[in-house]
């Protein structure tokens, strides 16, 4: 694997990490059609755990098969495929070495009342399955946040010790946050910064609105121009140690293709490192999903 100067410079920002962890980050950054550019498109398929199989896959029945998602990510030329334990186990041998994988080690479900996630897999599973990274979710604002961070600290430290990277889904919710506040600019930047502070190599957050939620933060945001998504993305990137940590943005609920493409253009213009897009891809028929992912990749290549 020949490394580009862009990827080499990114790896240099992770000053405390061992060669194994940097090699696994490089595998993700050098994979697929965006390999070497510093941009990423990742397919995450943890929605069956979070929302249930029918809500996730009934609209596109072939997606009930874990092999479908491996093939989609590989054929689309993506950087990585992220999923919970059982999904990766179901295709581990068939697709070994064909795409970097990220083991999602915690999850919630649609019946849960607490804003929390259960640890469902471990670093030993990630090693056994040949993963490049673990992924985990934290909920800033939740009453369970402190416990979630303590679990995250242990998992991230264990991953780094054996040469794996860590991807943190940082989704504000619960506590005193309003529904509008979950997507507020100040809250999203704070959530991204928290993920960096607990040692994430790659941060996953939602695209923020121009709403400012925290009364104590309003003064800091006065006079700023937050009118475009690209400017809001740039602020989240700034919160990720002035771009020293990789940050990707989730696609959210299924929506029209034009909206997905506009999101990708804003992420690219704002200096984000890419998209982690699940339902907006696998809930479409395969050929339509491949066309959509092709267009997103081309946007990050500067061709869209």
Tell me the pLDDT tens digit for each residue of 36-77. 999 999 999 999 888 899 999 999 999 999 999 999 999 999
Instruction: List the single range of 41-55, 130-144, 262-276 with lowest mean pLDDT.
Output: 41-55
DSSP string for 186-230: HHHHHHHHHHHHTT-SEEEEPPP-S----GGGHHHHTT----SHH
For 120-142, what is the mean pLDDT? 97
pLDDT in tens, 8-36: 999 999 999 999 999 999 999 999 999 99
For 225, other C-beta atoms within 10 Å of its C-beta total 8
DSSP H helical ranges for the chain: 5-12, 19-30, 47-51, 53-57, 66-75, 85-89, 123-128, 145-161, 185-197, 218-221, 229-239, 257-269, 279-282, 286-300
pLDDT attached to residue 115: 83
pLDDT attached to residue 254: 72
Pairing type for strands 106-107 and 118-119 reads antiparallel
| CATH number of the domain residue 84 falls in | 3.20.20.70
Question: Could you tell me the pLDDT band of residue 235, with boundaries at 50, 70 and 90?
Answer: very high
Name the more confident of 115 and 229: 229
For 246-258, what is the mean pLDDT? 87
Which are the contacts of 235, defined by CB distance < 8 A and separation ≥ 6?
A: 185, 189, 208, 224, 226
Domain count across the chain:
1
Taking 90 as the threshold, does the pLDDT of residue 220 lie above it? yes
Instruction: Name beta bridge partners: 167.
Output: 135, 202
Taking 90 as the threshold, does the pLDDT of residue 108 lie above it? no
pLDDT attached to residue 132: 98
| Mean pLDDT, all residues of the chain | 95
Active-site residue set: 204
For 281, other C-beta atoms within 10 Å of its C-beta total 29
Instruction: Name beta bridge partners: 85.
Output: none
pLDDT attached to residue 191: 98
pLDDT attached to residue 110: 75
Closest C-alpha to 189, from 230, 149, 232: 232
Question: Could you tell me the pLDDT band of residue 198, with boundaries at 50, 70 and 90?
Answer: very high
Specify burial of residue 253 (Cβ count, 10 A radius: 0-12, 13-18, 19+): exposed
pLDDT attached to residue 233: 98
Question: Could you tell me the pLDDT band of residue 255, with boundaries at 50, 70 and 90?
Answer: confident
pLDDT attached to residue 204: 98
| Three-state SS annotation for 268-292 | HHCCCCEEECCHHHHCCCHHHHHHH
For 88-102, what is the mean pLDDT? 98
Answer whether 0.85 is exceeded by the pTM. yes
Question: Could you tell me the pLDDT band of residue 129, with boundaries at 50, 70 and 90?
Answer: very high
For 267-292, what is the mean pLDDT? 97
Domain span at residue 286?
5-212+220-300
pLDDT attached to residue 93: 97
Phi, psi of 162 (to 5 degrees): -110, 15
pLDDT attached to residue 219: 95
pLDDT attached to residue 113: 72
């Amino acid at each position: 694997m020949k490394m580009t100067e862009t990827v080499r410079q990114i790896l240099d920002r992770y000053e405390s990490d061992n060669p194994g962890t940097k090699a696994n980050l490089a595998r993700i950054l050098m994979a697929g059609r965006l390999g070497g550019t510093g941009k990423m498109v990742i397919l995450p398929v943890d929605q069956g755990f979070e929302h249930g199989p029918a809500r996730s896959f009934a609209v596109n029945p072939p997606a009930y098969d874990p092999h479908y998602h491996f093939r989609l990510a590989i054929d689309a030329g993506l950087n990585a495929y992220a999923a919970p334990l059982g999904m990766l186990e179901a295709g581990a041998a068939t697709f070994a070495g064909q795409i970097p994988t990220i083991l999602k080690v915690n999850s919630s479900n649609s019946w849960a009342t607490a804003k929390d996630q259960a640890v469902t897999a471990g670093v030993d599973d990630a090693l056994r399955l040949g993963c490049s990274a673990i992924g985990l979710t934290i909920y800033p604002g939740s009453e369970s946040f402190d416990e979630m961070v303590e679990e995250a600290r242990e998992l991230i430290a264990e991953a780094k010790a054996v040469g794996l990277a860590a991807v943190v889904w940082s989704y504000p919710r619960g506590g005193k946050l309003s529904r509008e506040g979950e997507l507020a600019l100040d809250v999203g930047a704070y959530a991204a910064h928290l993920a960096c502070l607990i040692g994430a190599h790659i941060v996953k957050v939602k695209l923020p609105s121009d709403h400012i939620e925290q009364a104590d933060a309003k003064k800091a945001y006065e006079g700023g121009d937050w009118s475009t998504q690209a400017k809001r993305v740039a602020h989240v990137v700034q919160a990720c140690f002035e771009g020293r940590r990789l940050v990707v943005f989730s696609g959210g609920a299924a929506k029209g293709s034009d909206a997905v493409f506009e999101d990708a253009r804003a992420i690219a213009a704002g200096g984000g490192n890419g998209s982690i897009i699940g339902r907006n891809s696998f809930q479409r028929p395969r050929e339509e999903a491949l066309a959509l992912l092709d267009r997103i990749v081309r946007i990050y290549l500067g061709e869209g």
